[in-house]
Amino acid sequence: MKKQTRAAIAIGAAALLGLSACAAGGDDTASGDAAENKDLSIAVFNGWPEGEAVSYLWKAILEEKGYNVELEYADVTPIFSGLSTGDYDVALDGWLPITHASLMEEYGDTIEDLGAWNSEAGLTVAVNADAPIDSLEELAANADAFGDRIVGIEPGAGLTEAVLNNTMPTYGLEDMELLTSSTPAMLAELQAALDNGENIAVTLWRPHWAYDAFDIKDLADPEGTLGDVEEIHSFARDTLSDDMPEVTEWISNFKMDSELLYSLENVMYNEYDGTDFEPIVADWIAANQDYVDGLTS
């Protein structure tokens, strides 16, 4: 796509940069991406705040290093497909070994797994903290207290698949309705129910800023229908390591624990009402400069 349309410019720029490096007598070009195409697309899952937050973080980091970074939003399946065809360069929100396992089975041969940056992730069904139940085992018998429904997120999400195919049949919840639309719609329903003092059950996941923003609790899942703790991985088109070895190395080494992620999400989604996140992320970077500097050192 855009890489082809800018090929002539990229080649010319590469030649000039190469001459400059030779004239300076330095070896930086060999160890970095100085002579490469600097256009990079980061694909962001619609409605997944942890992925959006770290995508904005990496956009700021890479632009400081001279890259031209574009965030491109889409649903989960089109992003995996787009990585496999090279339409996107990177995505930072792949959940393994459970949530996105089926997509990796379909597209994994043409996608490069750059490794996990968080190993504290998990799928959940959450309810208001004062709900009369504490376990998914109790939900069927108390379904009417929750309006006979579970409020979900996007229909194509791995979380939706897990709740529909594993959780609901295991705990006899087939008579409840799993409502799907979008993560923002689910959060709006959650906010409204809590404001009105009503019980509500929602599909959710950790890490998520909702756990800091709302008075909610996870329902225990004794049968393990939502799987064990997962890892959040970065994925890339399978040629990125050849085209941009330095970027690939930086993102492969990226680590971020949940508490640090929560602090980034909170300033973006709880403490700020707008959608122009770049200055908000810049302030967060300034407050966490040592950590951010370490991501590319």
Q: pLDDT at position 15, please?
A: 34
Q: CA–CA separation, 34 vs 58, rounded Å?
A: 18
Q: Is the pTM of this model over 0.85?
A: no
Q: CA–CA separation, 41 vs 184, rounded Å?
A: 24
Report percent pLDDT > 90 for the chain: 77
Q: Establish how many alpha carbons lie within 13 A of residue 99's alpha carbon, considering only the half-sphere containing its beta carbon.
A: 25
Q: CA–CA separation, 51 vs 100, rounded Å?
A: 14
pLDDT digits (tens, 9 = 90+) for 188-215: 999 999 999 999 999 999 989 888 889 9
Q: What is the DSSP code (8-state) at residue 219?
A: P
Q: In the block, which residue shows the tokens 């393994």?
A: 96
Q: CA–CA separation, 126 vs 39, rounded Å?
A: 40
pLDDT digits (tens, 9 = 90+) for 111-138: 999 999 999 999 999 999 999 999 999 9
Per CATH, 35-121+230-294 and 122-218 having the same topology is answered yes
CATH no. for 35-121+230-294? 3.40.190.10
Strand pairing category for 177-179 and 149-151: parallel
Average pLDDT over every residue of 211-226: 94
Helix, strand, coil % (nearest 5) of the chain?
50, 20, 30
Q: pLDDT at position 32, please?
A: 46
Tell me if residue 37 falls in helix, strand or coil.
coil
Among 145, 152, 150, CA closest to 174: 150
∠ CA 47-53-54, nearest 5°, is: 120
Tell me if residue 243 falls in helix, strand or coil.
helix
Report percent pLDDT > 70 for the chain: 88
Look at domain 122-218 and name its CATH class.
alpha beta
pLDDT at 68 over 70: yes
Domain boundary assignment for the chain: 1-28, 35-121+230-294, 122-218
Question: Which of 14-23, 72-81, 158-167 is predicted least confidently?
Answer: 14-23
Q: CA–CA separation, 266 vs 263, rounded Å?
A: 5
pLDDT digits (tens, 9 = 90+) for 89-100: 999 999 999 889
pLDDT digits (tens, 9 = 90+) for 9-60: 333 333 333 333 333 333 443 344 444 579 999 999 998 899 999 999 999 9
